[in-house]
Amino acid sequence: MQPHAPRLKRAGGFAALYVAAAYLAAIPYFVFLVDYPSVTDPADKVTLLVEQHTSMYVMHLISFEFVALALIVVTLGVYQHLYEHAPATSQVACAVGLIRAGLLLASVMVFDHGMSVVVDQQAAAPEQAVAVWRVIEPVADALGGTGGDVLGGVWLLLVSWGALRARTFPRALNWLGLTVGTAALLSAVPGLGLLEVGAGLLMIAWFLWFGVVTAWPRSTTSAPGH
């Protein structure tokens, strides 16, 4: 085992707890306070961005940009847990996880920069601001996995399958991961979009549980019967 592996494993646990906490904080803000998902008209979206520019930027920083960085740590921590007993699976999972984190980081950077552009344009050229946002938002959404978190689903399936084979992490956590990963993949299928919400909420539970059992190693049970 590499000398830094135990610390990286724990760091992955703490990073997972941050991911769960950040997503839990983002839900009430975006869904209830700002209610951005319910706004469908592009002009209304631009107006909302102007009104909530500062707070939305801060929340994006906390709940997406820092989360993307935390996901890199989680991915590397998981790799350290799995590579000894499931080397091939852990390597593929690590690659997928790092790509996913990079795309999420790119997504929020595109969204935030685009938001600043349309906020600046809105007063002088509102129609142009709306046209610009019509282009920027789909790009940011696509990079972030909106419409089906395929990469997130694949990563969680690989991690959970590898952990089952390596008898790492509680078995119930691994089965939860397989369930959530499957739901995330299916949510990309037209007509099954509602699965995205359920998969997202259960993925928060997975990060929370994973963080608890890996940030404090004494709580981790890796015996075959667990």
Please write the tens of the pLDDT for every residue from 155-203: 999 999 999 988 889 999 999 999 999 999 998 888 887 888 899 999 9
Please write the tens of the pLDDT for every residue from 128-153: 999 999 999 999 999 988 877 899 99
Please write the tens of the pLDDT for every residue from 8-28: 999 999 999 999 999 999 999
Q: For all residues of the chain together, what is the average pLDDT?
A: 90
- H/E element, 44: helix 42-51
Q: Is the pLDDT of residue 2 over 60?
A: no
Mean pLDDT, residues 20-39: 90
Kindly report each contact of residues 78-81 with a partner whose C-beta sits within 8 Å and lies 24 or more positions away, as own/partner. 78/12, 78/159, 80/2, 80/5, 80/8, 80/9, 80/12, 81/9, 81/12, 81/163, 81/166, 81/168, 81/169, 81/214
pLDDT at 226: 41
* Helix (H/G/I), strand (E/B), else coil: 198: helix
pLDDT at 220: 40
Percent share of the chain, pLDDT over 90: 71
What's the CA gap between 102 and 106, in Å, rounded? Answer: 6
Q: Is the pLDDT of residue 55 over 50?
A: yes
Q: Is the pLDDT of residue 219 over 50?
A: no
